[in-house]
Amino acid sequence: DAGVTQSPTHLIKTRGQQVTLRCSPKSGHDTVSWYQQALGQGPQFIFQYYEEEERQRGNFPDRFSGHQFPNYSSELNVNALLLGDSALYLCASSALAGGPAEQYFGPGTRLTVT
Amino acid sequence: KQEVTQIPAALSVPEGENLVLNCSFTDSAIYNLQWFRQDPGKGLTSLLLIQSSQREQTSGRLNASLDKSSGRSTLYIAASQPGDSATYLCAVGGGSNYQLIWGAGTKLIIKP
């Protein structure tokens, strides 16, 4: 079992550009959540996808969007990048099973915006 | 609004000591609580998951307790080792709210 995988590992972008991050969930999981973690802070919830739809969203602007594919993998897109978007982006997968379940995290994508 | 606090923010102890990390939350209507470990620049490793109906969970040298009525959880690490050095985060899962609410973490350093 490969666990949760994310790509790329690191990314450097310029202000105003757009970025796409990718996540493959753990085998048997149907739900993907995305989190942003700034240096020295706990992760902040961006959104969660289930059955190819955004199920819940945190306090992030519309510049942050996502998608879930039929194979349960997911993408996080960020438009019009700002310096403040520099962070570790974490993907977590879970088996929804009707309620909050244990979440398994990938290694993250380190995004640097210059 | 659920808020999660972890105290202390940093802790340095000699190898071999037993230690306790604290996590408090403001809303007792939680579904579960997870403790994670994060090494510098790395992702999160789940250590223990406690469902709201449980009082504690154990894995090896780790024991996590949950007291919903007082809004507290503790992570007990026995016989600490230098390899335990990392940041430890707790995260609370709420009722119909599927997101995890996180503390800022406790940075633990175990001195050889």
Query: B79 burial class (0-12, 13-18, 19+ CB within 10 angstroms)?
Result: exposed
**pLDDT exceeds 90 at position A95:** no
Pick the more confident residue, A41 or A97. A41
pLDDT, tens digit, 9 for 90 and up, residues A5-25: 999 999 999 999 999 999 999
Give mean pLDDT, residues B37-59: 92
Report pLDDT for B98: 72
Tell me: pLDDT of A40 over 90: no
Checking if the pLDDT of A99 tops 70, the result is no
pLDDT for position A62: 96
Q: Does A24 touch chain B (CB under 8 A)?
A: no
Contact A43 B34 (CB under 8 A): no
Closest residue to A45, CB basis, from B34, B100, B103: B100
Query: Inter-chain contact A43–B99, Cβ cutoff 8 Å?
Result: no
Chain B residue numbers touching A99 (CB-CB < 8 A)? 31, 98
| Residue A1 pLDDT > 80 | no
Q: What is the per-residue pLDDT across B56-112, written as a single tens digit (0 to 9) for each?
A: 999 999 999 999 999 999 999 999 999 999 999 999 987 666 788 999 999 999 999
Pairwise CB contact (< 8 Å): A42 & B31:
no
CB nearest to A105's CB, from B43, B98, B103: B43
Inform me whether the C-beta atom of residue A56 falls under 8 Å from chain B C-beta atoms.
yes
CB distance A110 to A11 below 8 Å: yes
